[in-house]
Amino acid sequence: MLVRFKKNGEKIAMGLLSFMPQEKNLKKLQETIHTYENNSNWHLFMWKKDEDFVGLIGIETSDDVCLIQHISVTPSYRGEGIGKEMVSKVQQFLPCTQIQAAESTKPFIDKCLTMKDGTDA
Ligand SMILES: CC(C)(COP(=O)(O)OP(=O)(O)OC[C@H]1O[C@@H](n2cnc3c(N)ncnc32)[C@H](O)[C@@H]1OP(=O)(O)O)[C@@H](O)C(=O)NCCC(=O)NCCS
């Protein structure tokens, strides 16, 4: 289930963000989480499975575009479709008509979007 990030989940969110290659440094991680908490165009969501948060997706919105800046899943839950499902659920929360990948998420998001189009079938 995709849920909006809440401040009391900050440490878990930072742990999930740290799986992204550009977020290994603590100072950078703190800046990133601060951006999600303070910039109204940046939206962070967590994937809740039973009582645990095992995934994260972060989006920057502008006009009708959702730009996926961050996506990560706890290693032990990878390969179960959580990443793809998070991408597919974003538009339930945000009024964007287009989903785009940032440089940092491009390989995985492009794969998801291609599959959605049915061109990878
Ligand atoms: C990328 C990530 C979020 C995928 O989550 P997931 O829940 O395992 O993804 P799904 O189960 O929905 O999809 C798995 C598919 O994505 C592919 N995949 C995984 N990581 C990928 C990547 N970085 N680029 C392209 N494809 C990727 C898998 O090979 C698999 O392909 P298949 O369905 O053809 O077998 C997860 O691997 C992760 O957290 N990686 C570390 C963080 C990161 O690097 N994020 C940016 C990725 S560009």
Supply the pLDDT for residue 121.
47
For residue range 54-84, what is the model confidence (pLDDT) as tens digits? 999 999 999 999 999 999 999 999 999 999 9
Domain ranges of the chain: 2-117
Minimal-distance CA residue to ligand 1 atom 38: 72
User: Is the beta carbon of 57 within 6 A of some atom in ligand 1?
Assistant: no
Of 3, 88, 87, the closest CA to residue 46 belongs to 3
Mean pLDDT, the chain, rounded, equals 94
- Rounded Cα distance between 121 and 52, Å, is 32
Query: Residue 5 to residues 59, 79, 116: CA-CA distances in angstroms?
Result: 12, 23, 26
Minimal-distance CA residue to ligand 1 atom 20: 108
The pair of three-digit structure tokens given for residue 117, joined into one six-digit string: 């189009």
User: Is the beta carbon of 72 within 6 A of some atom in ligand 1?
Assistant: yes
Supply the pLDDT for residue 120.
55
- Rounded Cα distance between 43 and 100, Å, is 14
Class of domain 2-117: alpha beta
